[in-house]
């Protein structure tokens, strides 16, 4: 017995027709990003571990328990990227591309050692956008408008809701965290062991805890909003005004803190209640990271903002509410059937190439099954083929071709030299 080797827990294969839905969604997102002048950047999946260790924040979920870290043959510590922003900034610094006003997007797999469940995997995919060098709330709004337009095109606007918050500057936050720790220490008896551990490491994350029994504790906690500077408050207000002006619905959630330490000022998340049980799930999250680039280089850019969409969660939502229907009436346009024999095969090869050259968008398969015609037609139906073209000795002798519309169940015989003009009428 050969032992079956299975995929790694939490990592998935994606099969047809999900791949088709995925491609559709990706294309919709890419077209919109292109429309706003964003440029693709392709980044490595593996990075030096220190990149993430230094920049994501010591006491975040990712750093504490989710990193996929391994040693290479030279004992270098490498990590499969858990998110896109830090690798993006690394690349920007490395290539010295600090042009203000430049906008980027990336697309690809991320890796986090999480407990796998619906919408939470160990390998998942994100499409992210990043902008450096701009501080206007109009650019914060642009990102939100873009994502909002993506939801519109995907027909999910009514199934997602936007929450925004301001975290203030990193200095404001430090002052606040001191007060919060003091408060939580005093009330630590209300917290479970897991949250108690967070008091000194990541007290902000206690605030977005879902535990019902500490809701009151959270409600009475000192508010970050009382600590943030007037400058941050004004930026936040301006963003809210732009969103109102653009008729984009949002709610202000002062408990929204996000899972990474590098954020400041504006943070936002789109959530949905429509995938699986267990409350709302975030499908896109982002915010400002003005200090990240300066922390990683000697530059004083002091401006950066980005967000990432979780593709699997988006697909789960779209599948649940059926907001995009994939038309799989015909998967193949033409299924070419040679009736066996070498020189018929050669003829079929030529005809196949001729049609493909004239109709580069059509999907054309040549059958090499060499079974009887009936069985091959069954195959063509299984492939959801629209037409079949049959080429046999008789057809070659007569310079003719049999074309059958499998959907209408109609067949005609045409002269070979009329094939392209005939197909032009159909496609």
Positions touching ligand ATP (CB under 6 A) are 83, 112, 114, 119-121, 124, 126, 259, 282-285, 308, 310, 312-313
Rg (the chain; Cα; Å): 28
| Residue closer to ligand ATP (CB basis): 55 or 367 | 55
Q: How far apart are CA 367 and CA 349, in angstroms?
A: 11
The CB-of-37 to ligand ATP minimum distance in angstroms stands at 23
| Residue closer to ligand ATP (CB basis): 114 or 340 | 114
| Residue closer to ligand ATP (CB basis): 175 or 208 | 208
Under 8 Å between Cβ of 81 and 47: yes
Tokens 């108690």 belong to which residue?
196
3-state SS class at 99:
coil
The CB-of-395 to ligand ATP minimum distance in angstroms stands at 53
The CB-of-211 to ligand ATP minimum distance in angstroms stands at 15
Tokens 């299924």 belong to which residue?
335
| Residue closer to ligand ATP (CB basis): 120 or 223 | 120
Q: How far apart are CA 180 and CA 203, in angstroms?
A: 7
DSSP 8-state class, residue 66: I
CA 241 to centroid of chain Cα atoms: 28
The CB-of-62 to ligand ATP minimum distance in angstroms stands at 7
- Sheet containing strand 46-48, edge to edge, reads 46-48, 77-80, 68-71
| Residue closer to ligand ATP (CB basis): 53 or 363 | 53
| Residue whose beta carbon is closest to ligand ATP | 310
| Residue closer to ligand ATP (CB basis): 120 or 197 | 120
The CB-of-199 to ligand ATP minimum distance in angstroms stands at 20
Q: How far apart are CA 206 and CA 198, in angstroms?
A: 7
What are the backbone dihedrals phi and psi of residue 401, each rounded to the nearest 5 degrees, phi first? -140, 140
Q: How far apart are CA 379 and CA 1, in angstroms?
A: 32
| Residue closer to ligand ATP (CB basis): 291 or 313 | 313
Handedness of CA 308, 146, 236, 317 (dihedral sign): negative
In sequence order, the 6+-apart residues with CB closer than 8 A to the CB of 5 are none
- Residue 404: both structure tokens together: 């059958």
Q: How far apart are CA 17 and CA 406, in angstroms?
A: 21
Residues in a beta bridge with 205:
none
The CB-of-114 to ligand ATP minimum distance in angstroms stands at 4
The CB-of-60 to ligand ATP minimum distance in angstroms stands at 9
| Residue closer to ligand ATP (CB basis): 114 or 416 | 114
The CB-of-306 to ligand ATP minimum distance in angstroms stands at 10
């Amino acid at each position: 017995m050969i032992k079956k080797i299975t995929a790694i827990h939490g990592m998935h294969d994606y099969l047809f027709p999900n791949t088709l839905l995925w491609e559709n969604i990706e294309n919709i997102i890419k077209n919109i990003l292109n429309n706003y002048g964003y440029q693709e950047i392709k980044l490595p999946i593996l990075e030096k571990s220190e990149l993430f260790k230094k920049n994501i924040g010591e006491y975040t979920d990712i750093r504490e328990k989710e990193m996929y870290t391994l040693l290479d043959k030279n004992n270098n510590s490498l990590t499969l990227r858990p998110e896109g922003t830090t690798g993006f900034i690394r690349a920007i610094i490395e290539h010295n591309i600090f042009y203000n006003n430049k906008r980027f997007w990336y697309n690809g797999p991320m890796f986090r050692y999480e407990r796998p469940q619906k919408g939470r995997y160990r390998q998942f995919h994100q499409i992210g956008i990043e902008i450096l060098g701009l501080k206007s709330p109009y650019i914060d709004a642009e990102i939100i408008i873009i994502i909002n337009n993506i939801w519109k095109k995907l027909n999910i606007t009514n199934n997602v809701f936007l929450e925004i918050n301001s975290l203030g500057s990193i200095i404001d936050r430090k002052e606040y965290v001191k007060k919060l720790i003091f408060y939580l220490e005093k009330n630590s008896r209300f917290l479970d062991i897991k949250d108690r551990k967070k008091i000194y490491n990541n007290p902000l994350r206690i605030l977005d805890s879902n535990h019902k029994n500490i809701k009151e504790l959270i409600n009475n906690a000192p508010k970050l909003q009382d600590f943030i500077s007037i400058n941050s408050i004004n930026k936040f207000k301006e963003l809210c005004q732009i969103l109102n002006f653009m008729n984009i619905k949002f709610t202000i959630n002062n408990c929204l803190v996000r899972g990474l330490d590098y954020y400041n000022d504006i943070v936002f998340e789109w959530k949905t209640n429509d995938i699986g049980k267990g409350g709302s799930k975030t499908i896109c999250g982002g915010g400002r990271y003005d200090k990240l680039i300066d922390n990683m280089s000697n530059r004083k850019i002091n401006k950066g903002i980005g967000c990432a969409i979780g593709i699997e969660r988006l697909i789960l939502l779209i599948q649940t509410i059926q907001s995009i229907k994939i038309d799989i009436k015909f998967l193949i346009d033409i299924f070419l059937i040679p009736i066996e024999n070498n020189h018929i095969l050669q003829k079929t090869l030529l005809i196949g190439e001729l049609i493909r050259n004239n109709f580069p968008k059509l999907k054309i398969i040549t059958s090499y099954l060499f079974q009887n015609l009936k069985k091959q037609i069954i195959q063509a139906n299984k492939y959801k083929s629209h037409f079949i073209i049959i080429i046999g000795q008789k057809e070659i002798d007569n310079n003719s071709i049999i074309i059958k519309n499998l959907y209408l169940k109609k067949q005609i015989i045409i002269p070979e030299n009329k094939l392209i003009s005939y197909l032009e009428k159909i496609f």
